[in-house]
Amino acid sequence: MTIEVTDATFEDAITNAGKPAIVDFWAEWCGPCRMLTPIVHELSEQYGDQVVVAKVDVDSNPQISLKFGIRNIPTILFFKNGEVADKQVGVVPKGVLAAKLEALM
């Protein structure tokens, strides 16, 4: 399941999750973000409870976006042990994201 994360819930949902996480930084008006959304949902279904899959709306959550230096969207951050372990900017095939996620497990 993909969850929506906010400035207020990010730490509990991602940093303290105790398992790998991928976080999709996006915006409603962003065409490439909309292209990436189905891929993120597929990863969520594929990996189930093994990972946290989350989305952050950059327009509604400027603090967390600023904290991680998000300047381009879509940007996906990969977290392991609560720390950023990898990053992907732009739309890429599902296999690229899956490989990066597998490396964290």
The one catalytic residue in 33, 54, 76, 97 is 33
Does 30 qualify as catalytic in the annotation?
A: yes
Q: Which of 3, 17, 27, 30 is catalytic?
A: 30
Determine whether 33 is an active site residue.
yes
The DSSP code sequence of the chain is: -EEE--TTTHIIIIITSSS-EEEEEE-TT-HHHHHHHHHHHHHHHHHGGGSEEEEEETTT-HHHHHHTT--SSSEEEEEETTEEEEEEES---HHHHHHHHHHH-
Handedness of CA 31, 44, 87, 5 (dihedral sign): positive
Which residues have a catalytic role annotated?
30, 33
